Structure 1
Amino acid sequence: MTNEGDKKSRFYACSCFTTDNIFLDDYKLHVRFVSEHQFRLEYQPLLTRFGCVTEQQFVDVLTKVSQEVDRRRRICETSAERTAAIKNTYEPLHPHVYHLQESYLAPKLKQLVAYCSSSDACEEGLTELLEDVGAQRVYRLPVFEKSFCEQLVEELEHFEQSSAPKGRPNTMNHYGILLNELGFDEDFITPLREHYLQPLASLLYPDCGGRCLDSHKAFVVKYALNEDLDLSYHYDNAEVTLNVSLGKEFKDGNLFFGDMRQVSISETECTEVEHRVSEGLLHRGQHMHGALPIFCGQRWNLIIWMRASQERNKLCPMCNRKPSLIEADGFADGFTKQSESQQNSFCELT
């Protein structure tokens, strides 16, 4: 089951996807690559200060960057190939988890959504029903029943252990699963976004596209010893993000939130927030955050990057420029052409 994107709009990526925000894990640094000449001029002095002191070390960095650029250029083709292979060869352990049912959802989440549709619903009233975690405009809320989380993790582990091909979620997470390729988008993530998350975001984040979320990217990340332990300070390619702890047993690995991406970490006091299985953290995508190292066990998290084309069509959040659109599959990176976004002008704040 592949994601065909919104029925009324075609979605695009920004051309910066193939050049910008390439993460060098060894140096905890995001870089931009246009050419070797440009890269040497911009980054060789900085990388030298970070310990990349020999020519061979720099060549190794160039090789990794070139491989990542090539991966991104071929991502539509390789993703389609993986999706087809998964559909043809993978046998789900729990087929029912691919279809959202109300019984999977925490009763409190349904109560929150019901409040959002009431005649007196407002941001202040909703925030009083949510847990304030101490970081600005970051809210904790129950999302799933714990029994569903257990079954979902079992399904994800079953897929992870299978011979089916797997793509990494992004350059920062080496262990995880792209949920659109596994078949979760159409009958699970999309209705979850449209019917349950959109009403919350409309009240909580109207200033950053919360009223007109029209696409998403959903994936699961896994943290464990000898795998990914932590996650460097970053912001998401999203207007609004939901991060749900699915399990299993783990110690430490808390999230920490700083300020918005325009503010340097040196000027920021970070707030640490613990994970609670079955509960989610809702925050603005441009809110800087990271994950502290896990000490033991395994931690699985569902991440949903929700996007509003009406916002990102004005300015690409990843390159800070007017987006230069390139064709891509499914929801792509959530951009639409202007004529299409104008059809959704009712999303504008009034």
Structure 2
Amino acid sequence: MKNEVEETPKFYVCNCFTTDNIFVEDYKLHVRYVSEQQFRLDYETVLRRLGCLTDQQFEDVHNKICQEVARRRRLGVTSAERAAVIKDTYQPLHPHVYHLQESHLAPEFKQMVEYCRSSGASAEGLLELLEEEAAPRVYRFPVFEKSFCEELLEELEHFEQSSAPKGRPNTMNHYGILLNELGFDEDFITPLREQYLHPVTSLLYPDCGGRCLNSQKAFVVKYDMNEDLDLSYHYDNAEVTLNVSLGKDFTDGNLYFGDMRQVPLSESECTEVEHRVTEGLLHRGQHMHGALPISSGQRWNLIIWMRASQERNKLCPMCNQRPSLVEGEGFADGFTKESASLLNSLCVLT
């Protein structure tokens, strides 16, 4: 039984969510928007240089940004409304995939976790059980059995084809599914993070919240020849990210990693990393990365942004300031009002 210290805290969003890191897709640019005057002063020259040459083009960009700001302001309410409708109306094709089972997991992954739970576990010992990519501190390992990936994809396609309401995963991915709205958080994603990923991240990323992960945002993104082909260079709103390739058949579309977001782009060199079905890539959320275009087929990826409130309560990873908290739904963006001493007591290997 959990004691009082281990009870789930209330989670919040930083107020910068409605102003910062708004992606202007046509020009591959992230912007901050507080007012039209501020936006013109900060970005009009930059946008002109990128090809936004006419007043009408600039106005089109401005209108899209205003629409995105309005969407973000309503997001908590609209997401909760969608989740309620889905729960009441959607009939799952494979109900068992919503509940994490050991049989879903690859033997190599279970071996890694068993080692991490052992008394003599160390980062050096763990590194012998997984594959480190050329990009620093990016690790690859099998996560799921192929049969489970196939059934999960069948379920996701069944939902995609249904009349149930759907939200986009984030600003940059137009096609995909928010797994909390579909009902995956409680019995699948949260146990996966707490019981299996936390022992691994505790050894690999103790310096950036890996021992203190206490919430997540999980979603699936889809790349298709007639939809999104690639993903621009970016960093995640997370302390640690797991990206699992679920399938299907596709060619190209590798990921590429640069440096941490604090390093100027001009000083960063990118390393290409192959994405293999059933395998996950584990990396720091602030590690700049992107996805190259697929050249055929269709690819689905499961993304889990794992968050440590002890880290982000001190400095919001999106605006680089002390977070200004706004109430949110569910795990929100992983911020809490818990004291540092309480959060430190939770940073133990379980």
Interval of TM-score (by shorter of Structure 1 and Structure 2) = over 0.9
- Name the structure 2 match of 1:176: 176
1:32-51 → structure 2 map (5 Å cutoff): 32-51=32-51
Residues 9, 338 of structure 2: 8 Å contact kept = no
Q: Give CA-to-partner distance per residue, 1:287-315, whole Å, 9 cap, x none.
A: 00000000000000000000000000010
| 3-state SS in 2 of match to 1:241 | strand
Unmatched runs of 5 consecutive residues or more in structure 1 = 1-5
Alpha-carbon distance in structure 2 between the residues aligned to 1:69 and 1:19: 7
- SS of residue in 2 equivalent to 1:277: coil
State how many pairs are aligned. Answer: 343
Do residues 155 (structure 1) and 155 (structure 2) align? yes
- AA aligned to 2:276 is R
Provide the TM-score with structure 2 as the length reference: 0.96
Mapped partners of 1:304, 1:255: distance in 2 = 16
Instruction: Output the amino acid matched with 1:184.
Output: F
Q: Report the Cα offset of residue 266 of structure 1.
A: 2.0
Residue 82 of structure 1 corresponds to 82
The answer to whether the 8 Å contact 2:230/2:293 transfers is: yes
The superposition leaves residues 89-133 of structure 1 with CA deviations (integer Å, 9 ceiling, x where unpaired) of 111110110000000000111110110111211111111211112
Q: Does 320-329 or 114-123 show the bigger shift?
A: 114-123
AA matched with 1:104: H
Counterpart AA for 2:269: E
Distance in 2 of aligned mates of 1:122 and 1:219: 30
Look up the equivalent residue of 1:39 and give its one-letter code. F
Paired letter, 2:302? L
Residue 68 of structure 1: aligned partner: 68
Shift in Å, 1:284: 0.5
Of 180-189 and 255-264, more deviation after overlay is shown by 255-264
Q: Residue 26 of structure 1 aligns to which amino acid in structure 2?
A: D
Structure 1: which 4+ aligned runs deviate by more than 2 Å?
Answer: 346-349
Task: Give the secondary structure class of the aligned counterpart of 1:129.
Answer: coil
SS at match of 1:57: helix
- Do residues 254 (structure 1) and 236 (structure 2) align? no
**1:312 corresponds to 2:312:** yes
TM-score, normalised to structure 1's length? Answer: 0.96
Structure 2 CA distance for aligned equivalents of residues 65 and 253 of structure 1: 28
Q: Which runs of 5+ in 2 are unaligned?
A: 1-5
CA contact (8 A) 2:166 2:177 kept: yes
Distance 1:66 1:342 in 2: 40
Distance 2:304 2:129 in 1: 22
| Partner amino acid, structure 2, of 1:62 | H
Structure 1 match to 2:343:
344
Distance in 1 between residues matched to 2:298 and 2:156, nearest whole Å = 13
Letter in 2 for 1:21: N
Q: In structure 2, what is the equivalent of residue 3 of structure 1?
A: none
Report the 3-state secondary structure (helix = DSSP H, G, I; strand = E; otherwise coil) of the residue aligned with 1:33.
coil
Identity of aligned residues (%): 76
Q: Which residue of 2 aligns with 1:206?
A: 206
Does residue 329 (structure 1) correspond to residue 335 (structure 2)? The answer is no
Distance 2:249 2:51 in 1: 36
Letter in 2 for 1:342: S
